Amino acid sequence: SAPASFLPVGTFVTAELDGAKLENVHRLPDAALIDDSYVWIVDPDAHLRRQPVERVSGGDGDFLARIPEPVAPLPLRVVTQPLASFREGNTVRIADKP
Q: In the 3-class helix/strand/coil scheme, how is 34-50 assigned residue by residue? A: ECCCEEEEECCCCEEEE
Is pLDDT at 22 greater than 90 in this prediction? no
Spatial distance between the Cα atoms of 89 and 91, rounded to a whole number of angstroms? 6
pLDDT at 3: 55
pLDDT at 63: 95
Spatial distance between the Cα atoms of 25 and 52, rounded to a whole number of angstroms? 13
Q: How big, in percent rounded to 5, are the helix, strand and coil portions of the chain? A: 5, 30, 65
Spatial distance between the Cα atoms of 55 and 62, rounded to a whole number of angstroms? 11
- pLDDT tens-digit profile of 49-97? 999 999 998 888 999 999 989 999 989 999 999 999 999 999 999 888 7
Of all residues in the chain, the percent with pLDDT exceeding 70 is: 95
Helix (H, G, I), strand (E, B) or coil at 30: helix
